[in-house]
Every structure is written in C-alpha cells, then in structure tokens.
Amino acid sequence: MLELKPIINALLRSKVGAVLAILQLALTLAIVSNSLSIISERVSYLNKPTGYPEESIITFSVMSFDDKVDANQQLIVDERILKSIPGVIEAVGVSSVPLSGGGSNSGFSLTSEDDGKHTNSGHLYANEQVIRTLGVKLIEGRDFTSGDVLISSEYAKQPDVVIASKAFTDEIFGEGRGLGETIYYGGGPLKVVGIVERMTNAWPRFRNADRLIIFPMVNANGFQDFLVRTDPSLRGEVMKKIESVLLQENPNRVITNMKGLDEVKERYNSKDILMLRMLLVLITALVVVTALGIFGLTQFNISKRTKQIGTRRALGARKSAIVRYFVVENLIVCAIGLVLGTVATVFLGQKLMSLYSVPPLEVSYILITALGLIVLCIASVIFPAKKAANISPSIATRSV
Amino acid sequence: MLIMNNIGKVYQTDMVQTHALRDFNLQVNEGEFIAVTGPSGSGKTTFLNIAGMLEGYSSGQYMLDGIDVGKLNDNQRADLRNQKIGFIFQGFNLIPDLNLYENVEVPLRYRGIKAAERKRRIENCLEQVGLAGRAKHLPQQLSGGQQQRVAIARALAGEPRFLLADEPTGNLDSLMARQVMELLEQINRDGATIVMVTHDPELARRTPRNIQIVDGQVADFTLYQGKGAASQALKSQMGA
Ligand SMILES: Nc1ncnc2c1ncn2[C@@H]1O[C@H](COP(=O)(O)OP(=O)(O)OP(=O)(O)O)[C@@H](O)[C@H]1O
Ligand SMILES: [Mg+2]
C-alpha cells in the first residue's frame, strides 16, 4: 500500500527539516559531481603518456663564462664525454627541454608565401642524437643523419629537413599524410623526413601539447640545455658523475638544474597536483558532513515522532508499514534533493566551464554521485526506521 | 467478546518488579458499555493496553472473539487491532502533520480499503462527530473537545466492534466531556462495545456497568445498574 499522498502532505506541513536535507543533498550533488569530473579530467591528463621514457632521462643546463671557446664545438665534445659515462645510452644538447614550460612555439605553413594560414607547433633544435636520446618511436621515414645537421651560429639559417610528431603532420597535412612533404617556416622549406608516433612539447597542459617539430641544427650558446638517456637503473649514478666529468673537461662553467625528466614534468604539473589534493580533501569533507547531516536529520525526524509511531501502531500499522513510511518519506526528500541538485550541478558546471578552462561535465558523474547519495539516504533511514518500528504501541497510552 | 482469565502483568525495572495486574479476571460481552475506575497506578491503563493488544501479558489467557491473543504474532495482532479495535486516548493522539480527513484515514489505509470507500467512511464519521465542515483543518486549529471528537471519528472509521478509551475526557472541561460522553453513548447504542477508563464518578455513573480496579485486580462490580439493553441481556444471560 503506497502512502505517497499523506506523506507528501505531511512533509509540506513540516518543511524545515526536509528543506535542510534537500538543500544539503542538492549542494553535495552539484559540488561533488563537478569536482569528480574535474578530478578525473586532471588525472587522465596527468597520466597521459608524453612519448618519453621520463624515468630514464636526465636534464641539466651548462652555464659557460668562457667566450674563447666555440660553443658549438664544446657542445659536441660534451656530448661525447657524457656518452662515455657508463650507463648512458645517448646524450644531446637541446635548445629547450620538453615538458619544462619553456621552449619555442611558432606557426608553420604549407606555402612559402605568407597567406596567413599557420599551424602552430612547438619546436626545438638538436643534432642527430636527439631521437635516440628522447627515446621516442619513429613510425615513418628515417632518423636524422649527421649530414642533415646544420651547425651554425647564424639564426637566419635553417636546415633542409625536420622530424615532426604525428599529431602535427596529421593536423597540417591530414590524417596519415606528411612524410616527404614540405612545410615552410619563415619562408624557408623544410622537408618532413620522419614522423614520430608521440612526443610532447614544452607545454603539456595546452591543447596542442602533442605538436613538436625537431630541427637538425646546433646553435649553442652560453646557457645550454642537455638531455641524457640512461639505463633507468643507473640514472642516479650517472646524475652524480655528470658534473665532475664535465668540469674536468672545462672548469670555467657551472652545471645547474640537474633533474630527471619525470621531475621536470612533476614541477610543471605541481599546481594541478595540489589542486587535485585540495579537491579530494574538499569533497571528502563535504561527503562526511552531508552523511552526518542526513543521518542526524533522519534520526531527529524519527525520534520526534515517537508518539505518532505508537499511535499508528495502535491503529493497526504493522512494523513493516512504519519502516516503509520513513523509507518512502526519506526517498521523496532524496529525490527532490537530487532533482534540484542536478539543476544546480549543470548550472555550476556551465559556470565553471565559462570561467575556468574545465571540460564539460559528463552525465555519468552526476549519475554516480546521485547513486552514492541515494545509497547514503537509504543507509541513513533504514536503521532508525527499524528502531522506530520496534517502539511499543503502548507509548500511545503511556505518554501524554 | 472479551475474556481474561488470571491475567498477570509484571513490569521489570532494574531492581523493582511491579505487578501491575495479578489474577485479573474479566468478561466483557457484546454491546456493553463499561466504565473502569480505580486509584492511580492501580492498573487501569495496563488492562486497557492488554485488552487492545498494545502490550503483552506475563501470564494467564486472553481470548478476544474466541481468538487466543497469546498465540498471535506481531503482524496478526496489528491486523486484529486494525479490524476489531478502536482506540481513544486521553491525549487525543492526532497526528499533527495530517489534517482531519487524513487523520481519520490512517487506520483505513492500514486496512487497505479503496479510496472511494475510504472517502465515504471518513465523511460519514466526521459527520457523525459534527466536524464535517472541517476536514481540511489541522489538529492544532481545533479545541480539545473537537480534537477528541476527531479521534473518536478515527476510532469509528474502521467500524470496530470494540472501543477502548483511556480517560477520553481527562483533558476536557465538563461541557466538552459531556458532549464526548453523549457521543460514546450514541456509538454504544449503534452496537459497539465500549470499555472506558475514567476518573470522573459522574461519567461512570452514566454507564450500565462499572468495574473498579484496585492493586491490579477487579475489586468491585457495581453490577448492572439496570440501564440499557445490553445489561438487560447480560442479566438474563447470567440468570440474574
Ligand atoms: N512501562 C512500565 N514499566 C514499569 N512499570 C510500569 C510501566 N507502566 C506502568 N507501570 C506500573 O504499573 C502500575 C500500573 O500502571 P497503570 O498505568 O496501569 O495505572 P493506572 O491505573 O492507569 O494509573 P493512572 O490512573 O494514574 O493512569 C503502576 O504502578 C505503574 O507504575
Ligand atoms: Mg492510566
């Protein structure tokens, strides 16, 4: 027997408790489901592969004060020294470090004339060791050869060929195309001789993070970045030796910023990680408060009606009818809260989307959170309702 | 209709055992109107609660309409209560969040009566207690006497054959008490059996049969005051 109508009428006449519960449920749904959506988007971003074996790569910078030395020659010498350290697989000087937040980004076009149509991409300079050092996977074409490499201190010059990430060639030439084609940079042609499955530029957080073009070019300067790929188990050892072997070769310089590429990435993402932790703490606290609130309110709502329960029992209510009454009442409140909450959730989601760059809220997060809240509501009512059903009907005559 | 044989009721609290009823014997016949009196704490409410199956008893036997109540489970007792017994409480015990209509409807819903039939009965009962125009009012909008009349309507709606009232006029002034009493007498004339606990000797004097409970036992029958058809029938039945 469904008692919906009198339950709803009774609820409407003693609104306060119900309204509180409804608001709390609605707010919790809105905040938790939006937070879950943001969290899962951030987690999948943080777990997105960069294309690099970050745990086996070391990066550092060399600051040089010795202007008598030819920087380009020194770079080649340094690469050779680094490679001789046991455990090092390959080493290369680079114009910037991927994932670091600092690098170059430019527009590339399909014609030599500037028709205003550009495809943006990150790019960096390095010699023919770079693909091996980065540990990326070449899926089409060939690697650089020493013949491709332009060693020059003139900024106007550029090499004839490049290797690009698939994300870039797909974007500019169309899916699956690009090998052997030519792109133009500052009016000069660059032939794509190789395509890498996946590599990330200096700004992983941004939309075009997976577009990167590598120029076979050495143009060293007084502040030179290096990448070293090692056997992952020997990376720590190698890191300790780098400074001494380089200073031994030429003491007039300083080695700085020595870290693993994984650490570079983590620093770049430190704000996201902090935000994730804070969001997790926030929604845990919110869920605990809501749970306590709903438990408390339900308990209170039931205990203040002891006499009414006794009366109902005296009038012929079975225990199951008492339990059902409170469960149904609780579910009505829960349902209203969730409907209201869904509206609030969508509204909050749109506000967040327009104010901050958060992705659109997926329905599944609302559903998951709503389901959790329904379980919470049922859990909070079932025990006090069972207790209430065991109230002796004699309370109806014993208490005045 | 009601037979209690050697009913005993013991309340156990911490150290103390209270014998609220002991060797309690009583027979109530169809159509009677009985007033129960007795000093405070003598066991009147306990008797009424056991009669209405709101409480169990510790010993003895209680037969209601030939059914041994001691052999029923909780659901069966709830259903039997719903079908046969109407309760009227000293504190009225209307449900504050429900309007008069919905209050009277409560026992009918528990019985699973269809909406149309419920409506007919509720309107009928509210009419009978003189509150037909107030169906949409909430209990707190009524005087005590009116509330008690709603409670009586609620007790009547299920058309019980047995009405139990614990000091139904205890919270009412004498005018209202008289009105309620007249209503109960009317209901009794219509065929219901009524057992009413009261402290008011004047009200007790109006009923055909009085019993007094002292120390958990029926102490004194002020038998058959010669009023009413039921007591006449009883007299002849008992060979008096
Ligand atoms: N739940 C209980 N636990 C312990 N003792 C109880 C309980 N209910 C009643 N009693 C005791 O049982 C005895 C009978 O109580 P009962 O309520 O039946 O008296 P009464 O005749 O209705 O009194 P009054 O006229 O004051 O309403 C009293 O001594 C009372 O203290
Ligand atoms: Mg009493």
Q: Which residue among B44, B89, B215 has the greatest number of ligand 1 atoms within 8 angstroms of its CB, and so is best to mutate? A: B44
pLDDT block averages, 10 residues each, chain A of length 400: 76 83 93 91 91 96 85 92 96 96 93 83 95 96 95 87 97 93 92 97 93 95 93 94 94 93 95 91 92 87 90 94 92 94 92 83 91 93 92 84
Cα gap A4→B17, rounded to integer Å: 44
Please determine, for the modelled complex, whether the ipTM score is greater than 0.95. no
Q: How far is A3 from chain B (nearest CA, A)?
A: 8
Do the beta carbons of residue B166 and residue B90 sit within 8 Å?
Answer: yes
The predicted pLDDT at position B83 comes to: 92
For B:50-109, CB contacts with A below 8 A are 52, 54-55, 74-75, 78-79, 81-83, 87, 89-91, 93, 95-99, 102, 105-107, 109
The predicted pLDDT at position A159 comes to: 95
Interchain CB distance below 8 Å, A315 and B110: yes
- Which listed ligand is nearest to B38 at the C-alpha? 1
SS3 state at A243: helix
B110-130: average pLDDT = 92
Range of the domain at B178: 2-238
The predicted pLDDT at position B232 comes to: 46
- In the predicted model, is pLDDT for residue B167 greater than 60? yes
Per the structure, how many domains does chain B have? 1
Cα B89 to ligand 2 centroid, rounded to whole Å: 10
Question: Which CATH number do you get for residue B222?
Answer: 3.40.50.300
B14 in reach of chain A (CB within 8 A):
no
The residue ranges of every structural domain in chain A are 4-47+271-397, 66-251
pLDDT tens figures, B213-240: 999 999 865 554 444 444 444 444 443 3
Q: Other C-beta atoms within 10 Å of B132: how many? A: 15
As given in the structure block, the two tokens for residue A138 are: 């070449």
The predicted pLDDT at position B234 comes to: 46
pLDDT-above-70 percentage for chain B: 91
Cα gap B163→B184, rounded to integer Å: 9
Interchain CB distance below 8 Å, A1 and B109: yes
Do the beta carbons of residue A212 and residue A126 sit within 8 Å?
Answer: no
Best of B93, B117, B167 to disrupt the A interface (most A CBs within 10 Å) is B93
